[in-house]
Amino acid sequence: MNDVLKDTRDDHVVIRDVTFRRGQRKIFDGVDLTVPRGKIVAIMGPSGTGKTTLLRLIGGQLKPDTGVVEVDGRRIPQLTRSELFEVRKSMGMLFQSGALFTDLSVFDNVAFPLRIHTDLPEDMIRDLVLIKLQSVGLRGASQLFPSELSGGMNRRVALARAIALDPGLIMYDEPFAGLDPIAMGVIVQLIKTLNQVFGMTSIIVSHDIHETASIADLIYVISDGKVIGSGAPQDLMQSEAPKIQQFIKGIPDGPVPFHYPAADFEEEIMAGQEQRGWFG
């Protein structure tokens, strides 16, 4: 665990003491985490803990109330709009829904960032798009429209689009959610390949323990707005902390209670009977 964490000389993303609230609700309360360059880092935690929000903070779509968000040494919240758009060219993001543009074909979806951000001639863009589609195995589907794709294919196309500009950092928002085992295996394999072949720093937000643990170099577990544990997958598996144990083993009741906060069960049942007494 130590060898991963200690190497802070080349951190791609640094988050220091970030707090973020939405309305009255505190989503993050002093989150610290670092993403070393070239590694696969997973951010895990129960649903509704703001994992996606964290990605949006890194991408600059949201600003933290306090704290530091740095990507490549640049403080994201302080950037102007145009600087931010510049920085985003070196980030890719795979959205949970894929977020393909429904009015464009698969080919045009992948070509979109290239056409916007580069002045490459059309035949070169064509080659690049076909290379990206080949790498996700969907070159044959280039003329289909997003509505004609299955969920897994949709996400693969979105992945091809996310890596179109060869970003140094790629963020995956719930990449395994709602996929059949084969499609899931394909995505796992792709994330791993992209990381190994192109050296892309990868951040995975997920709650699928096994798939994530199989490829991550480093895992952060977030709960109640804080990082409650971090380390290499095998270290985390052996962690003693009850919250982490509950999450990893999927125990229904524990520090995260099974019951939503409510009045005493017996009292409420009795109260209901009393009320019915008047009419029934």
Partner 1 sequence: MLSALRNLGQFSLDLLEVLGRAGSLWWQAIWRRPRLANAPLLIRQIYQLGVLSVVITVLSGFSIGAVLALQGYNQLVKYGSESALGLGVALVLVMEIGPVVAGLLFAGRAGSAVTAEIGLMKATEQLSSMEMMGVDPLQRIVAPRLWAGFIAMPILALMFSVVGIWGSSLVGVDWLGVYEGAFWSAMQDGVDFKSHVLKGIVKSVVFGLVVTWIAVFQGYDTAPTSEGIAAATTRTVVYSSVAVLILDFFLTLVMFNF
Which residues form the interface with partner 1 (CB under 8 A)? 56, 59, 61, 81, 85-86, 88-89, 91-93, 95-102, 112-113, 116-117, 158, 161
Would you say 89 or 126 has its CB closer to partner 1? 89
Produce one character per residue of 157-187: b if its CB has 16 or more CB atoms within 10 Å, e if not: bbbbbbbbbebbbbbbbbbbeebeeebbebb
Q: Which is nearer to partner 1, 82 or 273 (CB)?
A: 82
Nearer to partner 1, 22 or 85 (CB): 85
CB of residue 216 to partner 1, shortest distance in Å? 22
For residue 88, give the nearest of 67, 65, 72 by alpha carbon. Answer: 72
Tokens, residue 118: 């580069």
Half-sphere exposure of 19 (CA within 13 A, CB side): 9
61 versus 66: smaller Cβ distance to partner 1:
61
User: Minimum CB separation from partner 1 for residue 116, in Å?
Assistant: 5
273 SS3 class: helix
CB 217 within 8 A of CB 211: no
Query: Strands 91-94, 74-75: parallel, antiparallel or unpaired by DSSP?
Result: unpaired
> Which one-letter DSSP state was computed for residue 263?
S
- Minimum distance between the CB of residue 139 and partner 1, rounded to whole angstroms? 21
Distance, CA of 157 to chain centre = 17
Q: CB of 163: closest distance to partner 1 in angstroms?
A: 11
> How far from the centroid of its chain's Cα atoms is residue 136's Cα?
19
- Least Å distance, CB 168 to partner 1, is 14
List phi, psi (to 5°) of 61. -75, -20
Cβ count within 10 A of residue 246 = 17
Least gap, CB of 231 to partner 1 (angstroms): 29
Which lies closer to partner 1 via its Cβ, residue 81 or residue 259? 81
Query: For residues 114 and 228, which CB has a smaller minimum distance to partner 1 in the complex?
Result: 114
Cβ closest to partner 1, residue 55 vs residue 191 = 55
Shortest approach of partner 1 to residue 173 CB, angstroms?
8
Nearest to 102 by CA among 162, 147, 138: 147
